[in-house]
Structure 1
């Protein structure tokens, strides 16, 4: 099996952009996705990847819309000639809110992107990979919050636990097609997503500092450190690993 074409959602910045850069460095041609509002950042990333000798294709899509995800996969097949690795990275945070005060709208918004979005990416990428008949890799974005629940984060935790269950189930179904399904579970990573949890001035920084203090390695993780794991999961060397959600959290929580 030759793995050579990857599609990364939520790739305009942070972990997604780092994954796209790393997979291009590994020799993949890449399709990079985000919302239309992130087009300038995607164009800059595409130019960077092309300058390194790889092909890069932009597709702006709402990953929670089935027709758009199917079109994104179909366009990748047509433009790049196939699909070997789907990285369902797109996700959003949620405000730190007591369960008794969580709104139904907040639940729907977070679950729509973090859980439904990964489901749709897995579904349509798997269909394409099965049709190709050369196997592949499905890789999803879970979280430390998908392994250890925490107060005031009920909705976000539920969405990331959902990715773990989906990953385990899909792995059992798709192994016979040579498709592995794994997820990565970041801890506290130096990106802007943490702002969504505590946007008030000073609050986010205070919470972040407390979490760093509890982390044995004593620092934030970096996006490229997540990308390094995804690089392995996308490689030939990971062929005997499936159904796993792997923590990268500086020791903040031990499986």
Structure 2
């Protein structure tokens, strides 16, 4: 029997790669993202269909609790079940500590923290309704394990995700729902590094590009993270080999925190 996974922020980047990996694992996929991302989502859906799995686009704003519940209901109704929820949607705000504004905090926390909580709530309720031993997989970051300069807002949201993951794992264990998280290092194929490099240059005076080069030099495995690395971890956590794992957050960073 085919299983169903919903991935938020799935129209591009890490979410799209996770969607492709889970489709290769035999899941039908609900590609969930903001309504304006439907065109990009259709490209991901086409790739999934070529793999031989079903896929639909589910519009959702993860900061809206009712909308997240509706999206989970839609995914389960249209795909005929619900087994895995990947709370991948997130944002990264880069600012010097003195420059953090209330609007920055509200924006980041609503997506990175509230969105994860709403996703856990909606998925767990659906798993319990269907009597399914579901999996919930949340997006944290190594910045949530060890805060980085100019990442105070982002780091604190991702630290919150680790705590939320542990609590939810405890509370939903009686329903045989596993809750885990992945914590990527800096992903080399996104534009995030350019913004970090610029802000770090303002702080320490190093030329643009040098901070990135210095950081990569500290990674034992010698490169930044690729979406494929993260998708491999999500695939493991969604699969049968992770049956007895819950409440854990796994760094995917090439040893960068060592």
TM-score (norm 1): 0.94
Distance 1:47 1:84 in 2: 22
- In the alignment, which residue of structure 2 is the partner of 1:58? 57
| Shift in CA distance, 114/205, structure 1 to aligned 2, threshold 3 Å | farther
Q: Deviations over 1:202-228 (max 9, x none)?
A: 967443222111111111111011101
Aligned residue pair count: 252
2:42 matched to 1:67? Answer: no
State how 1:148-187 maps to structure 2 within 5 Å. Answer: 148-187=146-185
Measured in 1, the distance between the counterparts of 2:194 and 2:200 equals 13
Take 2:139 and 2:102, find their aligned partners in 1: how far apart are those partners? 23
> Does the CA contact (< 8 Å) of 1:12 and 1:38 recur in 2?
yes
CA contact (8 A) 1:217 1:251 kept: yes
Partner Cα distance (2:83, 2:3) in 1: 6
Within 1, Cα distance between the matches of 2:4 and 2:134? Answer: 10
CA distance in 2, matches of 1:197, 1:157: 15
> CA 1:222–1:144 in structure 2 vs 1: closer, same or farther (change >3 Å)?
same
Classify 1:144/1:206 alpha carbon distance in 2 versus 1 (closer, same or farther; 3 Å).
same
Match of 2:222 among 218, 225, 236: 218
Gaps of 5+ in 1: none
Q: Secondary structure at the match of 2:95?
A: coil
Answer yes or no: is the 8 Å Cα contact 1:15–1:191 preserved in 2: no
Matched, 1:84 2:88: no
2-side partners of 1:103 and 1:190: how far apart?
27
1:3, 1:199 → 2: CA distance?
44
Are residues 1:227 and 2:226 paired? no
Match of 2:130 in 1: 132
Distance 1:172 1:3 in 2: 28
| C-alpha contact 1:146 1:157 (8 A) present in aligned 2 | yes
3-state SS of paired residue (1:192): coil
TM-score, normalised to structure 2, is: 0.93
The Cα shift of 1:186 comes to: 0.3
Q: For 1:173 and 1:33, locate their aligned partners in 2 and report how far apart those are by CA, in whole Å.
A: 26
Preserved contact between residue 93 and residue 197 of structure 1 (Cα < 8 Å) = no
**TM-superposed deviation, 1:96:** 2.8
In structure 2, runs of 5+ residues without a counterpart are: 202-207
Change (3 A) 1:243 1:205: same
Distance 2:198 2:119 in 1: 33
- Structure 1 residues 68-111: Cα deviation after superposition (integer angstroms, max 9, x where no partner): 1011001011101111000000001102322x321011011111
State whether residues 35 and 61 of structure 1, in contact with CA within 8 Å, keep that contact through their aligned partners in structure 2: yes
Quick check: 2:186–2:193 contact (8 Å CA) kept in 1?
no
**Counterpart secondary structure, 2:186:** coil
Q: Which residue matches 2:242?
A: 238
Contact 1:182 1:242 in 2 (8 A): yes
| Distance change in 2, residues 1:225/1:132 (3 Å) | same
Q: Deviations over 1:128-180 (max 9, x none)?
A: 00111121000000000010012221110110001000000000011111100
